[in-house]
Each structure stands twice: as C-alpha cells, then as structure tokens.
Amino acid sequence: MSSVHVNRIIDRHGAERASLIPVLQDIQDDYNWISEPHLRQVADRLGLPLSEVYGVASFYRALSLEPRGKTLIRVCKGTACHVRGAQLIQEELERQLGIQAGGTTEDMAYTLEVVNCVGACGMAPVVIVGDKYFPGVKPHRAKKLVQTERDEE
C-alpha cells in the first residue's frame, strides 16, 4: 500500500535520481524516520533498486531508519565543546534519560544524539533541545534541560 503523502513529496521534487536525498529528507522531517515501506515506495517511484535507496538512506546521519523520539536532544561535541566538557554533559544526559547517545527513550519522548559541531563554538558547550539552543551548559544543569522540557509539555 503506498502512502499518498510520500507520493506527494516525490511529485514535489520530481521522480528522478537527483531527488532521492531531498525526498528522503522530507520523509524524515514529516515522519521522524524512514520506514521500510516508504523506502520501497521511493525506490519504486524513482526507478531505483531498493539496495541503492537503502544505501543512500543508511549513509547519511540525518536520515534515520528507526523511529525517533518526539524531541531530539543534541549534544554538540565539536572541538570547542569537547575541550569545555561536553563529554560530562553527554554522560549526565544519558543518566537522566536512561539511554545511550543514539538511543530513544521507551516512551518515545526523547532521542539523544551527539552531533559533530553546530558552529556555535563561542557558546560552548552547547546542547540543543528540539530547536532551542542552550549555551554554556554545566553538567548539573543537564538535568534541568530535560525537566524543563517535560514541564512544558
């Protein structure tokens, strides 16, 4: 069964090879992940082998082949954040959420990710919760970030 929404995404970009990544990005944005049926549908419509589509989808970090939590928490681990203690913040968040980086909480509320560098090095160390940036995070404040987010819901 093909998804009407995914078809619409493909129509918007054009059913051609060069559209593969933008199509997958849009599916990722709208669904928070890319499921196998969606991969098959994209392969079908773009006239590409499923292996190709899977190869591309698994190559890029922004594309997820597993469901992600509602809120994405990203710990920046660029050089500036690293030398200012990002590792401790990552570990504290892992403790608070009870998951490892890359994992998703059981209630599907959070996914914790480590990112290379968000380019806000002057504010290091940085944590991004959803689309909110938190500058100069201290390890003990990491707990608060999660709590605040939970309270707001």
What is the rounded CA–CA span in Å between residue 131 and residue 5? 25
Q: Work out which of 109, 117, 129, 144 binds other proteins, going by CB under 8 A.
A: 117
150 binds other proteins (CB under 8 A): no
The order of strands in the sheet holding 110-115 is 110-115, 71-76, 127-129, 132-134
**Binder to other proteins among 15, 21, 43, 129 (CB under 8 A)?**
21
Query: Does position 77 bind other proteins by CB under 8 A?
Result: yes
For residue 104, the 8-state DSSP code is B
Q: Is 100 in the site for other proteins (CB under 8 A)?
A: no
Write the CA distances from 71 to 87, 130, 132, 141, integer angstroms.
21, 5, 11, 18
Contact positions toward other proteins, by CB under 8 A? 17-22, 24-25, 55-56, 59-63, 77-80, 82-85, 88, 91-92, 95, 115-124, 126, 131, 133-135, 138-140
